Each structure stands twice: as structure tokens, then as C-alpha cells.
Structure 1
Amino acid sequence: MKYRKIIYIPALLLSLASCRKLLEVKETDLLTDQLALKTVANNESGVIGAYAGLGTEMGILLNAILSDEVKKGEFYNSATVHEWQYSSTDVTIRDNFTAVNPYYRVVDRVNRVLQALPGADSTRLTDTQAFRSRLRGEALFLRAFCHFEVFRYYCNNYHADSLAMPYISQYRPDLPAMPRIKMGAYFEQLQADLTECKNLVPNSLADVGRANKIAVAGLQARVALFMKRWDDAITYSTEYISALPLATSASFPGIWTDANNDEIAFELKRSASLGAKTGSLFRAVSTVVGGKTTMGTITWLASDTLWNSYDTAKDVRFKAYFKDEKLLSDAARPSHLVAKYAGGAYTTATENVADNKILRTAEMYLIRAEAKAESAASDLGGAAADINALRAARIADYAPIGAYGSKELAIADIMRERFKELAYEGFRFWDLRRKGMPVTRKASDAPTTDESSRVLPTGNFRFVLPIPNAEIQANKLMLQNPGYAN
């Protein structure tokens, strides 16, 4: 036994020495931030990667099915969400409407760039200080955009002392638990990011897939609207409108077929090669069976409420947004399609492929009209003028209205116009919450005869989504929204 111990001890020491050498071997294929973002070109790739991580499809679908924009189609797999029965552990919330991961992931990407960019090496003649500043501006724009989206998902209407979410303004590799902060502090940081980035990004619309001054003004107007900073909303929306006029009735349909970029200061590009099919939120792609085109499953139909709100003969928006598909009606299938993101022809690779329009002039007219009506000056004539301008660009032979008789009448009309103009762009549910209005569906649009699937009352806690249970478990400082349990 003693002899064996003498043998084992040197062997053990030799083994430990070998392990130590292995531990001291430097990793050769580890790509750290210092290497990945070593050059200005690397940092530009990081910014482009952040853009690539953005997606508004989730917001488009959420605002459609939680409001009165759609009715159930042929495949009803989102009953708990459509009927407002979701919880923090709901599968649809977990899989389809979890804004924490995608938006904070983009924030993490741009924060890495913001940390690395000042010391990045210049390897190209174009790596000037102006170009570095542009990249910083784009990163700040994306950080503000993402935090605003997180706010819209998980926070109630703006009040400085109410809870927002964590505002992550620097790269934190240790991933610490972070608490929710007050809305006042949250929006102070968000607005500071927008103010700084506006002086850094280009004043050009040559590439509307990247941040520019007009896009920043548009986001500032949207943020001011949610904060009820009416004078700011008027200022920023006017800045946007002055730079980008409304599309004509002739060019308007081309916005939705990607034939032109009229009105658009910022959009997210989508392509068939990446499998990005926004139109598939509402219907599956078609196929050829026996030499005949067969439409795919219709997941969501246009609601009767929305469909019937247009002058179908004179309003250019109706044909741009909807289609009564004969292939479906001939087969005795529901045929009132959402066609806003229809993309290319049936059975082609580009079917259901269309760019997501994020900021456009029509929204700015509606923001300005609402801000004029709500402002201390209560410019009801100015609000009517903005609504008249928008409708005249959309409706043939439109007869303008005079000044609204009251603020209440103005807001009701503006909300109707937002419903029609911004349909399926990710606004309706949040608009109703923002204005303290209920979701009210027609009986023909409701999934059941139960009143609970037809009306979501004003102030109901489900106007604010639950913080996903996985996030609550991962972040011990995260507080759940009222009404939900984990």
C-alpha cells in the first residue's frame, strides 16, 4: 500500500501540471467584443446587425388581433389572446408577443457598438469622424426606438411617477438583475438619445432602411404624442410633414407594393430569400394543385367593422388594404382578405413579402391633428385642416369639413381616421388604451356570443401585457404588471 502511494503521488502531480498547462493555453477561436468590433467597419456591421434584429411583425399582429381590426378565419389558434384571456404563462404570449428578448437584444447590440466605437481602428478612407458620428447616431436611434417599443408593450399610459421598464444605456456583460424605473426617468433617457442622434444622422432619404433626421423627428413626434406633450408633437410632426409630403392618390397604392417610398422616412426591408413574409400573419401562401391556384389557410380576416368603414368606390385605401378574393368565395370560403402586405403574385416566391413601413407622413398628420385638438390652445380649425388634407389625398371628390364643434368631436373623428389610415400597422390596440377607449367588436366580428369576447372595457388591466414569466424568473428585481400572477 505504501509503495502504491509513492507511485500515485508523482502521477497526480504530473496530471495537475498537465491540466495547468491546458488551462494556460490561450483560446484561438474566441471572438470577443475587442476583436469583433476592432475596426470602424466592424462597428458598422454591428449597427447593420442591430437593424436586422428589428421586427415590427409582432406589433402588427398584436394590435390587429387584440383590437377590432380582424376577425377569426379558418384556423383559430390564438383564442386566449383574441378573447383577452392571456396570462404571464400563456403560450401565445410566450412565443409570439414577448418584446423583452427581441428588443433588448437589439439594445445589447448597439450598446456594444457605442462602447467600442470611440476606440475602433480606421481601416478605410471613409472611416472619418463624421462617419463614426453617424454610426453613433444610428445606434442611439435604435436604442431609443427599442425602448419605446418595450414601453408600449408592458407599460400603461404615460405618467412620470408610474413604472416603465429598465432603460439599458450601457453594455453590461455581467447581465445584472435590473429593476423597473419611473416613466419620467425612462423617457428622459429616451428623449436624450433622440436629441443627440438627431445631430449625428444624415439629413437624407437616400436609404430609408437606416436612421435619418426626418425619421428621428417622426419618432420624436410619436413619443411626444404618448407623453401628451402636445406642443412638441406639433413641432416634430410639422418638421416631418415639411420634409415629406403626402402621397397622391395615384402613388399611394405603390407604397404597399414597394413600388415607391412616398411618405416613408424609415422602413424595415423584407425579402423572400430571408423568408420574411409579413402577409403571412394573416394568410398562408397559395399553392398550385391540379393546375389550379389554391389559396392557403386564412388565419385572420378583415373585420366587418373596418371593412365597412371605407367608401369602397372612392377611398384609395380600400383597394390598397383589402381584397375580396373570388378564388375563395367561389370555393365557399371566407374571402375578405387583408391585402396590405400581399407582396407578389400568388404562388410566387414574393407572395406575402412586403417591407414594413415604420414612419410615414400620414401618421404625422394624424399626430398633429390630435395634438392641435388636445393642446391648451385647442386649435380645432387646425385639426380639421389636417384631417381634410389627409382625406383629400385618399378620397376622390372629398368634401372638406369645417372646424370641429368641440374637442371631443375632434378626437372621435381623428380616432376614426387613425383606424382607417393606419390599419394593420401596429397602432389600434395601443391607440385605444392611450385614449381611454374600450375595444368594441361587432357581433359578426366577435369569436363567440359571449360578451367577454366582444368588449374589453376601458381601463381593463389586459390593455397592458404581462411581463413574461420567464423574464420574472430570470430577473428577480422585475415587478409584474397589475392583474397578473406568476
Structure 2
Amino acid sequence: MNFLMKRYSTILLAPVLMMSVSCSKLLDIPETDMIQGQDALKTVSNCEQAVIGAYGALGVEMPILLNATFSDEVKKSEFYNAATTHEWQYSSVDVGIRDNFTAMRPNYRIIDRANRVLAAVPEADSLKPADNTALRNRVKGEALFLRAFAHLEVFRYYCDKYSAEGLAMPYKEIASLDGEARIKMAPYFDKLIRDVTEAKNLLPASFAGDGINRATKAAATALQARILLYKNDWAGAEAAATEYITQKPLSPIAEFGDLWKDKNTNEVVFQLVRTTAIRLGSLWRNTSASAANIGTVTWMPTDKLWNTFDPVNDVRFAAYLKDEPLLSTKGRPSKIVAKYAGTDYGTANENVNNAKVFRTGEMYLIRAEARAEQNRFTGANSAESDLNALRAARIRNYVNVTLASKQAAIDAIMLERFKELAFEGHRFWDLKRKGLPVERLAAEAPSTAAVTLPAGNYRFLLPIPNVEIQANKLMEQNPGYAN
């Protein structure tokens, strides 16, 4: 970890001071927008600015692309240069892994910033007569939330499905340049749960002016539910998901499509605002020169996913997918991912869409799975009732189903997660944590070797980057990969 921490030990504060000076004097002037170490965090306000900087490092683009291309959500289209990742042929030195799916750097950067705030905020403003307790607690809560969020992301990339004795990652609790060894999953999840629980107690119910762009109690509840899902703590996951659902109900069916056009924030308690600097929709299709010249389609939805939807009655179909006649008339692949499409082809905000980090649809599926795993698969307050409620909010003229067994419930939930959470960064990791294979249609696989990734295959765990192994002598590589 020392390799990473050396890069990210500086705290950047906003706003940047702008100065006009002659070139001859430039080298003699110290940087005034960069303050080293804890000198940057002497006030609670400074700590808040550092937390905002940590938010700026959050991203969902990498996990969204990974889960789509490593699983059965997308297939190659007009441009294909991801053979090693899409076909599960990556190694610890593979350029595709290094350039596209390096979770160590961004997440431990967030963790480092959070840890610096957590070290400084108790004594910040200590010389002032008035102690802004509310702001201090809020900033601490945000830092704990971010630390837990980033540690869960690292776990999802590099660790196997949960077992108490399984190998997790280092859990960084202080800002340090020293390398740390990986720890077992039981203590790792104890730390995750501790951090998110404390964050939840400190965070406000809402942020005036910031809405859902910063962590609140509801966001911490959602993170808690996701953590407990990965830990297989079914009673805890059910309780947290229920708490979320009580606060944030499912979107009215007529408004669901507008959620993906940023016309409402139904179901969402935490989002990452996106502008033209980061275009979520460009994961699947390049921006267009004009309506008549649609950008190159890099990834298209699989028929396996496409055919799971009722295209007439399921409002998710039109919100997520599109068969574009402007492409088919030119002989180009016409089935495209419409989720995150932004405004019209060739317009300024094409492919621009805010990233929905936590929303109610996921919470219903977490609760349904938790209830099924507790053998409550049918009747009131069961997996069946949750699935029926979610589908009724997505499918016109929906008729309730009855689930006959626990396994039938689990199968139905996995299918519903495939549909509801498509292109949101869950599918590959869902298959891993449930011990299931990736199974593509033979006609959609780029090679015969890329049809199936068997359940439990070591490639469900990404390799620890070789540079990290070299820099941190305590770091242990994942099975199956050479250093």
C-alpha cells in the first residue's frame, strides 16, 4: 500500500487561489493551493473540504464496465479491444486490468483522505472558543461512510465470496505509508459494519443545498444493507433494507423512465453528479457527430438480457434498452444500451447521466434475498411479496406469482437482479457471491473459451496488480496468478 499512499498523501483544498505573476518570479512562489499533511486540517471547515475532495474520487464507471463486460450483460459490437478482460484471459500485468480495472489506486486514495480527516477532526478548531459539534460530527460521519464504501469496493474486486476464514484485503484505519497484510474476512467485515454503523449515527437525515449528492443516514443504511448482503448476514440485511424502503418507496411506474433521464430522483438517496467531463453512456456508445451520424457502438446488450424483458409492459425495457432504426437502416448493430443515454444524439449532454449509487429497487432485492435465505420464500413479508411488489412497480398488468421453494425464490431473485440492476455494476459480483457461473449464449461469445466461466473459477477474483505486490512486501497475491 505504500506505493499508493506516497501518491495520495497530499490534501487538496478548495478554492484554488489564483495569482497573476511574471514568469521570472513563478518558481520562487510556494504553492498556495496545496497544504501538506495535517497542517491542512486545522479547522473543521478544512476537514469538510478534504471530505468533499474524497467524494470527488468516488466513481461507479469502473465497476459498471467490469460487471457488464466480464459477465453476460453485453457483447462486442463495432469496436472490440478488450479481449483479455471480456474473455477472462487477464493476468497481474495485463494492460487491460492496469488501465481499466485498477481498484487499488482510487479506493485507497479515498481511504487515505478519510483517515486523515478522522485523525484531525477531533482536535480541529481546538483553539476556538465555540465548538461546532454538529459540523464536526457530520464530517466524521462522512469520512467513516467513505472509508467503509471504498473498503467494500476493494473487497468486491479482489476477494472471494464471504467466509469467515477467507482472505480479505488490508483495512486501512490510519494514514500511513507502511505496507499492510491482508486480513481475514470476519474481522474485515467487523470493521466495515463498525464504520458504517458509526457513520449512520453521525450523519444528518438530509443536506440543505446538497440534496442526495452527499452521504446521509439513508445512504449509510443502504451501504449497511449491501455490506450485510455480502456477509450473508440475512437478518441484518433484511432489517437495513426495510429501514431504507420505509423511508424511500418505489417509484410510481409512470415516472420510472424519467429517473434515467435525471428528471426525478425517485428511489435514490445517494448519487454522483456527472457532467460532460464523465459521460456514463460513453461506456457503451461514443458520442455522436449528429443525429444522422451516431457514435460508434462499443458494447451492445446481449440477447440473453434483452429477451428477459416484456418489451410492451415492462417499463425497464424502454428505460434500459433500445432498438435504434437510425442504426439498422445503415446496416449497423441497432440494439443499444439506452440507460445513461442523456440528451439526443449530437447534443451537448449526450451520454450524460448522474450515477445512482443507492436506490430502492436494489433494497427490495436485498430484502427478498435475505428473506429467501431465511426460508421465508412465500406468503406475507417474504421473498415472494417483495418480488411481486417490485415487479408490480415495473410491469404494467403484472399478475402476482407464487414461489414454491427457497431455491425457486433464489433463482427468481437472481433473474430479477439481472434485469432490475442491469448496467449498474452488480452482475459479475452477484454470480461470484452466489457461487454461480457466467454463462453466455454460444452465439454471443467471442470465442468458445469465452462461453462459460465456471463457478468458483479463480478469475472471479481480479489479480492484485503486480506493482502493488512489488511495493508492499506484505501483500499476498490471489490464487491462480503469478507475480
DSSP-derived class of the 1:141 partner:
helix
Count of residues in correspondence between the two structures: 451
What is the correspondence of 1:297-308 to structure 2 with a 5 Å cutoff?
Answer: 297-308=296-307
Equivalent residue number for residue 464 of structure 1: 461
Rounded to whole Å, the distance in 2 between the matches of 1:464 and 1:103 is 17
Change (3 A) 1:152 1:126: farther
DSSP-derived class of the 1:306 partner:
helix
Question: What amino acid does structure 1 have at the position aligned with 2:323?
Answer: D
Pick the aligned partner of 1:232 from 220, 233, 236: 236
What is the correspondence of 1:412-451 to structure 2 with a 5 Å cutoff?
Answer: 412-448=411-447, 450=448
Rounded to whole Å, the distance in 1 between the matches of 2:450 and 2:198 is 45
Q: Is the 8 A contact 1:226 1:434 kept in 2?
A: yes
Rounded to whole Å, the distance in 2 between the matches of 1:162 and 1:380 is 33
2:73 maps to 1:69 = yes
Deviations 1:135-191 (A, max 9, x none): 00000000000000000000001111111000001111xx11111011111111111
Rounded to whole Å, the distance in 1 between the matches of 2:339 and 2:295 is 17
Q: Is the 8 A contact 1:112 1:171 kept in 2?
A: yes
Question: What amino acid does structure 2 have at the position aligned with 1:443?
Answer: A
Deviations 1:193-246 (A, max 9, x none): 011111100112762111111111111111111111110011000000000000
DSSP-derived class of the 1:348 partner:
coil
The offset of 1:122, in angstroms, is 8.0
What is the correspondence of 1:56-455 to structure 2 with a 5 Å cutoff?
Answer: 56-121=60-125, 128-172=132-176, 175-204=177-206, 207-272=211-276, 275-288=277-290, 293-375=292-374, 377-381=375-379, 382-402=382-402, 404-448=403-447, 450=448, 452-455=449-452
Equivalent residue number for residue 15 of structure 1: none
Structure 1 residue runs of 5 or longer lacking an equivalent are 1-24
The offset of 1:378, in angstroms, is 3.2
Q: Is the 8 A contact 1:41 1:123 kept in 2?
A: no
Structure 2 residue runs of 5 or longer lacking an equivalent are 1-27
Rounded to whole Å, the distance in 2 between the matches of 1:28 and 1:318 is 52
Rounded to whole Å, the distance in 2 between the matches of 1:462 and 1:243 is 38
DSSP-derived class of the 2:393 partner:
helix
The offset of 1:121, in angstroms, is 2.5
Rounded to whole Å, the distance in 2 between the matches of 1:127 and 1:46 is 19
The offset of 1:118, in angstroms, is 1.9
Question: What amino acid does structure 2 have at the position aligned with 1:388?
Answer: N
Question: What amino acid does structure 1 have at the position aligned with 2:364?
Answer: Y
The offset of 1:119, in angstroms, is 2.1
The offset of 1:271, in angstroms, is 1.0
DSSP-derived class of the 2:310 partner:
coil
Identity %: 57
RMSD of aligned Cα (Å): 1.9
DSSP-derived class of the 2:35 partner:
coil
Change (3 A) 1:441 1:28: closer
Change (3 A) 1:349 1:164: same
The offset of 1:69, in angstroms, is 0.1
Q: Is the 8 A contact 1:322 1:336 kept in 2?
A: yes
Deviations 1:405-458 (A, max 9, x none): 11111100110000000000000000011111111111232112x1x1111111
The offset of 1:307, in angstroms, is 0.7
Equivalent residue number for residue 13 of structure 1: none
Equivalent residue number for residue 13 of structure 2: none
Rounded to whole Å, the distance in 2 between the matches of 1:234 and 1:463 is 26
DSSP-derived class of the 1:118 partner:
coil
Question: What amino acid does structure 2 have at the position aligned with 1:325?
Answer: E
Q: Is the 8 A contact 1:373 1:407 kept in 2?
A: yes
TM-score relative to the length of structure 2: 0.90
The offset of 1:124, in angstroms, is 10
Rounded to whole Å, the distance in 2 between the matches of 1:363 and 1:227 is 16
Question: What amino acid does structure 1 have at the position aligned with 2:421?
Answer: L
Q: Is the 8 A contact 2:38 2:116 kept in 1?
A: no
TM-score relative to the length of structure 1: 0.90
